[in-house]
Amino acid sequence: MIEVVNLEKSFGDKKVLDGINLSVKEGERVAIIGTSGSGKSTLLRCLNCLEDPTGGAIYFGGENIADFKVDINKHRRHIGMVFQQFNLFNNKTVKNNITMVPVICGLENYRKTKRKNLFIALTNLFKSKSKKKALLPISETPAEIKKKASDKADELLKRIGLFDKKDEYPSTLSGGQKQRVAIVRALAMNPKVMLFDEPTSALDPEMVGEVLALIKEVANEGMTMVIVTHEMGFAREVATKVLFVDEGKIVESAPPDEFFTNPKSERLKEFLSKVL
């Protein structure tokens, strides 16, 4: 699903990622661990081009999204992202946080189809009968798009038990609640893959459990995931593949059992002995 080839990223002279090769298949859950500053967050942020890679290629949906000419916004709609600092939109209510982007995207597509139809109708005027092109179908009216997004948001909020908070602003929620809303906000876009950037690092220890439980639930539904985390136990339980990143390179990549019980490289042995 995502194919990373020889990815490089440098900030100025500092090389943060140095020749990363990685492939994430459908249904796979990849956990990335490593020390701070090892480049694991940068690697994740490169996967949806929040950081533009300085070299290499990332193939998603049959296109190299590291290329500047590709319409990255179109691809990002299929890549959900959850941040360490939640990043809920502070000026929107909880429900609007979830519905806002699906509604904007839906309306954008609706207008685009309408424009194209107008163009087809215009060109049809100058064509003989046999060459006339059919109009593109418009499946939903704007009201239906809004209704659908709203229903979906209600359903998602009920699922995480925050339906009664739907009209409140993010500033009134606890950290765990914010992160759960952030996760369902990403889910509302029906992503093909989800990226988690240290989803529990900014939370109180008490609230880590509820967020991890939600991520596990989403994982069990078969969502493809890439997770940067410091929670070793969680990585072991959820991931199907664990990567160890150090100094911008993938040092070791193995299924979780083998990764944690039988590490091969010295660097990983040292790291695990410190954190476990």
- 254 belongs to the binding site for another protein (CB under 8 A): no
DSSP 162: -
- Residue count, binding to another protein (CB under 8 A): 28
Burial of 254 (0-12, 13-18, 19+ CB in 10 A): middle
**Residue from 139, 172, 174, 261 in contact with another protein (CB under 8 A):** 172
Q: How far is the CB of 187 from another protein (least distance, A)?
A: 11
Question: In whole angstroms, how close is the CB of 92 to another protein at the nearest point?
Answer: 8
User: Which range in 24-32, 100-108, 115-123, 241-249 contacts another protein by CB under 8 A?
Assistant: 100-108
Retrieve residue 202's tokens.
């900014």
Is 112 within 8 Å of 71 (Cβ atoms)?
Answer: no
Residues 6+ apart with CB under 8 A from 1: 24, 25, 26, 28, 60, 192, 193, 224
Q: Which of 111, 152, 155, 116 is nearest to 136 (CA)?
A: 116
CB within 8 Å of 120: residues ≥ 6 apart: 133, 134, 135, 136
Q: How far apart are CA 192 and CA 25, in angstroms?
A: 11
Rule CB under 8 A: choose which of 36, 73, 130, 262 binds another protein: 73
Q: Is 70 in the site for another protein (CB under 8 A)?
A: no
Q: Which of 1, 50, 57, 70 binds another protein (CB under 8 A)?
A: 50
Of 228 and 251, nearer to another protein (C-beta) is: 228
Sites for another protein among residues 185-204 (CB under 8 A): 185-186, 189
Among 7, 17, 24, 83, binds another protein (CB under 8 A): 83
Q: Does 87 bind another protein (CB under 8 A)?
A: yes
Please give the residue ranges that form the binding site for another protein (CB under 8 A). 48, 50, 73-77, 79, 81, 83, 85, 87-92, 100-101, 104-105, 169-172, 185-186, 189
